[in-house]
């Protein structure tokens, strides 16, 4: 089922998500719904809080070399923790919760993440480049943060001004 993606400045996006304790059919339904929602929105990642569920759950599905998002490459991460970060990279990011806006963000180049899959089995992933960016971006959501908070004060003020105008124009 496709769920509504909440958008900035919805206060739920500021909530710190809670760890998942039950690896059950309810969690599996949430993961399946998140996948359908992300694909319907043409996204590459989605955190549960973006569909108004404050749980430490995220999914990532980057396009392959043929620019296709293969479901076999889907990462479903429950209670993820970054255990190592190094290097820096600048990547132009966007967000389903901040539609129509993208900006350069500095993140770690290389990370190691520990998490559980949908069955409660512990996983470890080492990654870099775009995948590392996606992990860091989605994990910020779980902590109650958005990528726009990484912008310089000048860029952030410009964004806020443009965003308020955009919201006002919609009404």
| Active site (catalytic) residues | 138
Contact yes or no for 83/113 (Cβ under 8 A): yes
Q: 95 and 137 in contact (C-beta within 8 Å)?
A: yes
DSSP readout, 14-61? GSPPBPP---SHHHHHHHHHHHHHHHHTT-SEEEGGGGT--BSEEEE-
DSSP-derived letter for residue 143 is T
Say how far apart CA 29 and CA 48 lie, in whole Å.
12
Asked whether the bond before 9 is cis by omega within 30 degrees of 0, the reply is yes
């Amino acid at each position: 089922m496709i769920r509504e993606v909440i958008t900035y400045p919805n206060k739920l996006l500021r909530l710190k998500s809670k760890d998942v304790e039950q690896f059950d059919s309810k969690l599996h339904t949430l993961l399946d719904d998140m996948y359908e929602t992300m694909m319907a929105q043409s996204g590459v990642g989605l955190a549960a809080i973006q569909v108004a569920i404050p749980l430490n759950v995220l999914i990532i599905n980057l396009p392959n070399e043929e620019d296709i998002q293969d479901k076999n490459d889907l990462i479903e991460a429950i209670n993820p923790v970054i255990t190592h970060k190094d290097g820096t990279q600048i990547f132009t990011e966007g967000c389903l919760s901040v539609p129509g806006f993208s900006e350069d963000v500095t993140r770690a180049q290389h990370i190691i993440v520990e998490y559980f899959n949908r069955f409660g089995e512990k996983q470890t992933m080492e990654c870099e480049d775009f995948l590392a960016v996606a992990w860091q971006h989605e994990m910020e959501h779980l902590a109650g943060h958005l990528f726009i908070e990484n912008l310089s004060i000048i860029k952030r003020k410009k964004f806020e001004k443009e965003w308020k105008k955009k919201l006002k124009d919609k009404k």
